[in-house]
């Protein structure tokens, strides 16, 4: 995580761009709780490295906002292995519901602690720093009602979880953004349905930039991804997403064929090539967008040259996108 994040910041700085780190605080808290045991096994304290990197990022003009994977809350580090609570994978399924600020097993308590701890860590570096935005772990923010209520209670004003047209019903995941209001432009979401718009809600949804294209146009890219390309910045990352195995579908070959000749959804990310970035920028212009959200996970950052090329392209076209604020 640390090395690729450093590389991303370095590339952004060389192109005059700023990077927003959505810092995963639940994991950080567990690293801090088991600091001594981890130091014995690893030779260092991970939470200290995370703190140093986040403070350095803010010092260099980048931003840090809130990201939460609640399966870490009741995690235990035993005999060199982590045992996490997979019963609380999805943020809205907090055991104690909406709750209050003192209860870490409630939505209000979890969001309050995340916001408060980031501000304690980063305000000494930049007195103007404020934690205002959330991205929910594994995109699991539905049902959204209590999440938005908790955000309002603790002072979070922005969510950036929605990826229009994306959905995943594989346990323990669940999200469905197929009917999201926008794939580009921010909107005020309905409290009960994040896909709908409600201008009376003061929470702002800033969706990740997405686009639907014919799947065959992605053939070579998908083939490359199937080889699980690695880079020197994340060579120790060998894990796979936690997912319960689905029953094998007898019609899976037919479904795969339909998918190949159907449509596929892309989101603009750190590995997007220049042609894809051009395509996404055309979508932004078409929708008269002023914000384009690029996403990506540092551990999946395998194509350094793609980010370099995309940022080079944006710099060349900056007069066309002078109103565009790039949130990466």
- How do residues 248-293 score in pLDDT, each as one tens digit? 444 565 555 555 667 789 999 999 999 999 999 999 999 988 889 9
Task: Give the pLDDT band of residue 246 (cuts 50, 70, 90).
Answer: very low
Q: What is the CATH number of the domain that holds 290?
A: 3.20.20
Considering the chain, what is the average pLDDT of its residues? Answer: 88
**Number of domains, the chain:** 1
Q: What is the pLDDT of residue 317?
A: 79
Give the pLDDT confidence of 204-231 residue by residue, as tens digits.
Answer: 999 999 999 877 665 555 555 555 555 5
User: pLDDT digits over 23-32, tens only?
Assistant: 999 999 999 9
Does residue 248 fall inside a structural domain? no
Residue 245 maps to a domain: no
**Domain range holding 126?**
2-236+254-327
Residue-level pLDDT at 214? 76
Please indicate, yes or no, if residue 109 is contained in any of the structural domains. yes
Would residue 285 count as lying in a domain?
yes
For residue 325, pLDDT beyond 90: no
C-alpha angle 274-325-160 in degrees, rounded to nearest 5: 90
pLDDT at residue 262 in the model: 73
Residue 244 counted as domain residue = no
247 lies in a domain? no
pTM assigned to the model: 0.88
Left if phi > 0, otherwise alpha if psi is -120 to 50, otherwise beta: which for 79? left
Asked if the structure places residue 118 within a domain, the reply is yes
In a domain, 98, yes or no: yes
pLDDT digits (tens, 9 = 90+) for 287-296: 988 889 999 9
Q: What angle do CA 172, 173, 176 make, to 5 degrees?
A: 150
């Amino acid at each position: 995580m640390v090395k690729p994040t450093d590389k991303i910041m370095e590339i952004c700085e060389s192109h005059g761009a700023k990077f927003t780190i959505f810092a995963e605080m639940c994991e950080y808290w567990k690293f801090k709780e088991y600091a001594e045991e981890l130091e014995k096994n690893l030779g260092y304290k991970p939470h200290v490295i995370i703190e140093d990197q986040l403070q350095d990022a803010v010092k260099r003009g980048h931003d840090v906002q809130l990201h939460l994977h609640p399966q870490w809350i009741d995690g235990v580090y035993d005999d060199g292995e982590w045992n996490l609570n997979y019963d609380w994978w999805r943020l809205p399924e907090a055991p104690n519901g909406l709750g209050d600020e003192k209860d870490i097993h409630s939505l209000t308590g979890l969001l309050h602690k995340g916001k408060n701890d980031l501000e304690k860590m980063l305000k000494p570096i930049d007195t103007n720093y404020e934690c205002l935005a959330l991205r929910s772990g594994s995109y699991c923010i539905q049902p959204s009602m209590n999440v938005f209520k908790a955000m309002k209670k603790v002072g979070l004003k922005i969510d950036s979880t929605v990826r229009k047209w994306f959905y995943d019903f594989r346990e323990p995941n669940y999200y469905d953004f197929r009917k999201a209001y926008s794939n580009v432009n921010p909107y005020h979401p309905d409290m009960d349905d994040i896909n709908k718009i409600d201008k009376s809600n003061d929470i702002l949804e800033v969706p990740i930039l997405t686009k639907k294209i014919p799947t065959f146009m992605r053939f070579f890219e998908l083939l490359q991804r199937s080889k699980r390309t690695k880079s020197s910045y994340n060579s120790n990352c060998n894990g796979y997403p936690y997912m319960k195995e689905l029953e094998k579908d007898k019609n899976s070959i037919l479904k795969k064929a339909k998918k190949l000749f159907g449509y596929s959804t892309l989101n603009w990310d750190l590995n997007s090539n220049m042609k894809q970035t051009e395509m996404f920028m055309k979508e932004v212009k078409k929708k008269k967008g002023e914000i384009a959200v690029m996403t990506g996970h540092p551990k999946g950052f395998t194509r350094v040259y793609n980010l370099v090329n995309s940022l080079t392209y944006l710099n060349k076209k900056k007069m066309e996108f002078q109103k565009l604020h790039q949130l990466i």
